[in-house]
Structure 1
Amino acid sequence: MTRDMVFIHTYTDQEEVARLSQRYDFLAVSVVDREQPLVSIITINNVICIIQK
């Protein structure tokens, strides 16, 4: 079991999100705000669009 949670903040640059997804081979990444409640999820489809741009 992995205890270290991987997530991104709402202010994280989209290129950094793409790099993070590729590095960890994620299909989705959680997006949290400063107090860390879940705000959204970035899926692999979103990451592919970012990489294509």
Structure 2
Amino acid sequence: MTRDMVFIHTYTDQEEVARLSQRYDFLAVSVVDREQRLASIITINDVIYITEK
């Protein structure tokens, strides 16, 4: 079981999301709210869109 989960918060800056995804080479990253409940996911397609802006 993995205890050190990597996720982002709903208020995380887009550029930080892109850096995190590239650093860990993820295809998708979980987005959680303040209570750490799953709110959404960011896919590699979203990251590519952010970096190309």
Q: TM-score, normalised by structure 2?
A: 0.95
- What one-letter code is carried by the residue in structure 2 that aligns with 1:48? I
Give the aligned CA root-mean-square deviation in angstroms.
Answer: 0.9
Could you tell me which runs of 5 or more consecutive residues in structure 1 were left unpaired when the two chains were aligned: none
Could you tell me which runs of 5 or more consecutive residues in structure 2 were left unpaired when the two chains were aligned: none
Local SS of the residue matching 2:34: coil
Q: Please name the residue that 1:24 is paired with.
A: 24
Q: CA deviation at 1:2?
A: 3.8
- What one-letter code is carried by the residue in structure 2 that aligns with 1:21? S
Aligned residues: 53
Q: Please name the residue that 2:3 is paired with.
A: 3
Q: TM-score, normalised by structure 1?
A: 0.95
Q: Would you identify which runs of 4 or more consecutive aligned residues in structure 1 move more than 2 Å?
A: none
Q: Give the distance between the partners of 2:21 and 2:2, measured in 1 at CA.
A: 16
Local SS of the residue matching 2:12: coil
- What one-letter code is carried by the residue in structure 2 that aligns with 1:9? H
Q: Give the distance between the partners of 1:14 and 1:21, measured in 2 at CA.
A: 11
